[in-house]
Amino acid sequence: MSEGILEVRKKSIMVKNTGCSGDGTGIDCEKASVSGAVSQRACVYCGARVVLNPITDAFHIIHGPIGCSSYTWDIRGSLSSGSEIYRNSFSTDLREKDIIFGGAKKLTAAIDEVVDKYSAKLIFVYATCIVGVIGDDVEAVCREAENKYKIRVIPVKAEGFSGTKKQGYKLACDAVMKLIRPYKITDKKGQHGLNILGDFNLAGEMWLIKNYFKKIGIEVVSTFTGDSSHENLLKAPQAALNVVQCAGSSMYLANQMEKEFAIPFMKVSFFGIEDTSASLMQVAHLLGDEQVIAKAEAFTKKESARLRKFMAQYKPKLAGKKAAIYVGGGFKAISLIRQFNEMGIETVVVGTQTGRKDEYEIIQNIVNDDTVILDDANPAELEYFMKIKHADILVGGVKERPLAYKLGIAFCDHNHERKHALGGYEGVENFTKEINLSINSPVWEYMTAI
């Protein structure tokens, strides 16, 4: 490995089946970032906000300086079939005087204003870093507001410094549980259909997936949190199954719902032909009768055949190219590696911000020897490995885009800001077209890496 890589980071970087494959206990992951290593991860508050933000009629009050609010304003490309209120940020805009004398009164005033002006029924109140330092009693303010207005005002104590982005996911799941817990049903016979967890309706992807379930005859009860509403979330305890797409953000919620509502869960992925078809078939076998299974078989076979024909046109243009992947969670990285395999592209570098040990084991199993695997990488590491592995394209998020362009290599945005669907069967077409356009663009011939 390069001399430039910090000694403490070396356990979080593996090269498959080489002398750098670690000490046999697997990659070092699921830990706090190394101070000073310039992690690409977002803060705890951001983790909570990205999970809760797509609830379309919820109000998000950020109790902190205005910077925390603007940092996550309309953060996802999540679409709504109803209210658009979630696309706003409300903030107490804490200033120096508030830091000295306390901001609780300002928070009460902010809640009063939101209820008064918008008749809000569901408010999430996020406490950010400085509130953790000055110690405003956010829970008491929220409790008081709930009693006063008879609505839900849920505190999310998400001080950015209090852990990793993953801690923020857990706080968001706890907030959802607080909301839906009173709606637990005692009669198991009343449970039916499924909830989709960990899909945020980016560019309408939730609608695509819901449509597949409709086609095969399975009811979707509630969605977390893409295109969901307060009313719709409260129906979630009625479902017979939870399917979990983004395990990193929603596995904790699935576990809690299993424990408290006796709803079993299964992990799914709707990225790529293989994963989408396998997920639909698994759900059909679990929830459906013979008719549902037959419908699912016919649908997945038809879509797979159509897409394999579509992809055959692109394979000659893509075969032999090399990809680097740096995404939020392990489940997405796994699906992307499989999608690249289907295109004839080899993944030479793969990393995630919050991948779990079991996900890294799967990654290690499905990549070729010599592939570099990183957890919680920084820009210097990504740059070094992309260069020495001669990657032709980087798939990542908004923070990785300038890095790819600086190196003169192609880039594909697979993060939550994107405005085009990359999930489901339609997503396979979009993704393949985008990879081809980007990787084979003539512009790269005129670029030299800085």
Interacting residues toward ligand SF4 by CB under 6 A: 43, 45-46, 64, 68, 71, 128-129, 160
Task: Give whichever of 45 and 252 is closer to ligand SF4, judged by the CB atom.
Answer: 45
CA distance 214 to 120: 32
Token couple for 289:
């009768």
Token couple for 118:
């918008």
Q: Which residue lies nearest ligand SF4, judged by its C-beta? A: 160
Q: What is the CB neighbour count within 10 angstroms for residue 280?
A: 27
CA atoms within 13 A on the CB side of 371: 22
Q: What is the CB neighbour count within 10 angstroms for residue 329?
A: 23
Residue 71 CB, shortest distance to ligand SF4, in Å, is 5
Please name which of 7, 14, 44, 12 lies closest in space to residue 29, comparing C-alpha atoms. 12
Task: Give whichever of 160 and 424 is closer to ligand SF4, judged by the CB atom.
Answer: 160
Task: Give whichever of 45 and 411 is closer to ligand SF4, judged by the CB atom.
Answer: 45
CA distance 214 to 283: 12
Task: Give whichever of 167 and 438 is closer to ligand SF4, judged by the CB atom.
Answer: 167
Residue 103 CB, shortest distance to ligand SF4, in Å, is 14
Residue 152 CB, shortest distance to ligand SF4, in Å, is 23
Task: Give whichever of 71 and 212 is closer to ligand SF4, judged by the CB atom.
Answer: 71
Residue 137 CB, shortest distance to ligand SF4, in Å, is 18
Contact 184, 158 (CB under 8 A): no
Task: Give whichever of 45 and 270 is closer to ligand SF4, judged by the CB atom.
Answer: 45
| Cα torsion angle, 309, 314, 319, 323, sign | negative
CA distance 307 to 292: 22
Residue 349 CB, shortest distance to ligand SF4, in Å, is 28
Residue 246 CB, shortest distance to ligand SF4, in Å, is 21
Contact 92, 114 (CB under 8 A): no
Token couple for 37:
């290593």
Task: Give whichever of 156 and 307 is closer to ligand SF4, judged by the CB atom.
Answer: 156
Q: β-strand 322-327 against 265-267: which pairing, if any?
A: unpaired
Q: Which amino acid is at 106?
A: K
Residue 356 CB, shortest distance to ligand SF4, in Å, is 23
Residue 164 CB, shortest distance to ligand SF4, in Å, is 12
Q: What is the CB neighbour count within 10 angstroms for residue 284?
A: 24
Contact 127, 155 (CB under 8 A): yes
Please name which of 48, 41, 71 lies closest in space to residue 168, comparing C-alpha atoms. 48
Task: Give whichever of 129 and 333 is closer to ligand SF4, judged by the CB atom.
Answer: 129
